[in-house]
Amino acid sequence: MPDSSTSLLSSSRQKETLLLGLRGEWDIREDPPGFDSLAPQFSNGNSPAKVTFDAAELGMYDSSLISMLLQLHKECEEHGAAFDRDALPEGINQLLNMALAVPEKRDAHAGTTERALLYRVGEASLKLADEIRELLAFLGECLLSLGRFLTGRARFRKKELWVTVQECGVEALPIVSLICGLIGMILAFVGARQMAGMGAPVFVASLVAIAMVREMGGLMTGIIMSGRTGAAFAAQLGSMKVNAEIDALKTFGFNVIDFLVLPRMLALIVMMPLLTAYANLVGIAGGALVTCVGFDVSLTAYINTTIEALNFKAFALGTIKSVVFGVIVAAAGCLRGMQSGSSASAVGTAATSAVVVSITAIIVTDAIFAVITTILGI
């Protein structure tokens, strides 16, 4: 007795046998029926013992029919029902044979099961612990590598060091000039309005000088280098990983940290203080431009006030911070590059992550410096 039908697929149940009628044109663009329409036949312990077909009126067919039959075959296997495909056309049988030739590797699935909240929290915590362990191991290896460098035992290409120094030094000057010059001008605009109100616009020079040398010079250079150089490091190392270039280094017995991370870290340790000093100078010049042109302060007075405002401690603090920021940018870029997956999109993700991690770490570190220097009265 028929219990369901469409123009393409009908089903009738005779005792334990399910007879499926296939007819008409099965065109994937016309949304033909899928296994869903047959699912009730296998629910509530009411599964048939055998499934057979009547394909006498079947016309053209495509993947829509084969995929439905495959799903049906799978359900039959799961419910212990016989899948009698003798009545199916030879072409369909051949396609089914091809699809069923290699059994599904059930244990090869990536594990997409939805887990309980507690399980996921635990899993995320373990992952975080692993990441922290990896980060500490990486920093430890970097320290050992620096030690080997200082004792002349590190093995790397000197040429690579100079190329990196140039890339993250001289080539960064234009962007550092633009950003830090504008920062100096913004500071001057903000400060000059307040100082002019109090009748002492020349003290804008002190504000700009102290702000640039103690904070903004190093901070802005660090952020610029994160976006420019940190991302480049992550992308370079990530691409090397995708192309198995890192594997090639390992199988020659080269220490990958010495070879790839050390030159990049050394380059930033050397160049960050120099770039920061340059950024300070450009920022102060930007401040001078705004103050002298816009608020009628003489250049001599501006320079004298700047020199009076600055001292060795401010320079030392700015320089130390810039070295720390350089280490952060290099470590984040290289770590994310080395951790990159082996696909093109993974390289992009590694570069993005390197920028996010290093900018966050730079700002947190700067805040820690601010607290410490305030407590110590520096």
Partner 1 sequence: MAYGSFVLMRDLNFTINRGDIFIIMGGSGCGKSTLLRHLVGLKEPAKGDILYDGVSFTNADPDQREEMLRGFGVMYQSGALWSSLTLSENVALPLEQYTKLKPARIREIVSYKLSLVGLSGFEEFYPAEISGGMGKRAGIARAMALDPGVLFLDEPSAGLDPLSAQRLDEMILHLRDSLDTTIVIVTHELASIFAIANNSIFLDVATRTQGATGDPKVMRESCPNEDIRLFLNRGLTDEEATPLTTTGTSL
**Nearest to residue 257, comparing CAs of 237, 280, 235, 282?**
237
Could you tell me the smallest distance in angstroms from the CB atom of residue 103 to partner 1?
Answer: 9
Instruction: Work out whether 141 is an interface residue with partner 1 (CB under 8 A).
Output: no
Kindly state whether residue 143 participates in binding partner 1, applying the rule CB under 8 A.
no
Among 251, 300, 345, 374, binds partner 1 (CB under 8 A): 251
- Applying the rule CB under 8 A, the residues between 276 and 335 that interact with partner 1 are none
Q: Rounded to an integer, what distance in angstroms lies between the CA atom of residue 10 and that of residue 33?
A: 10
255/353 with CB nearer partner 1: 255
Q: Which 152-181 positions form the footprint of partner 1 (CB under 8 A)?
A: 155, 157, 160
Q: Is the dihedral of CA 173, 175, 178, 182 positive or negative?
A: negative
Which of these segments, 7-15, 250-258, 290-298, 358-366, binds partner 1 (CB under 8 A)?
250-258
Of all helices (H) and strands (E), which one includes residue 58? strand 50-58
**288-317: b (≥16 Cβ within 10 Å) or e:** bbbbbeebebeeeebeebbeebbeeebbeb
Q: Which stretch binds partner 1 (CB under 8 A): 165-173, 235-243, 334-342, 343-351?
A: 235-243
Q: CA of 62: how far to CAs of 26, 67, 69, 191, in Å?
A: 6, 9, 11, 74
- The torsion angles phi and psi of 230, rounded to 5 degrees, stand at -60, -45
Q: Does 254 bind partner 1 (CB under 8 A)?
A: yes
**Which CB sits closer to partner 1, 213 or 237?**
237
142 CB-near residues (< 8 Å, 6+ apart): 257, 261, 262, 265, 331
Distances (CA, A) of 68 to 31, 38, 51, 61, 106: 12, 10, 14, 11, 20
Q: Which of 252, 374, 375, 377 binds partner 1 (CB under 8 A)?
A: 252
Q: Which of 12, 71, 239, 349 binds partner 1 (CB under 8 A)?
A: 239
Position among 27, 54, 245, 366 found at the interface with partner 1 (CB under 8 A): 245
Cβ proximity to partner 1, 244 vs 364, nearer residue: 244
* Residue closer to partner 1, measured from CB, 107 or 114: 107
- Rounded CA gap, 130 and 36, in Å? 43
Q: What is the CA radius of gyration of the chain?
A: 34
Per CB under 8 A, which of residues 88..117 are in contact with partner 1?
107-108
Q: How far is the CB of 168 from partner 1 (least distance, A)?
A: 15
Q: Work out how close the CB of 169 gets to partner 1 at its nearest, in angstroms, rounded to a whole number.
A: 18
Give me the residues that bind partner 1 (CB under 8 A), please. 107-108, 155, 157, 160, 239-240, 243-245, 247-254
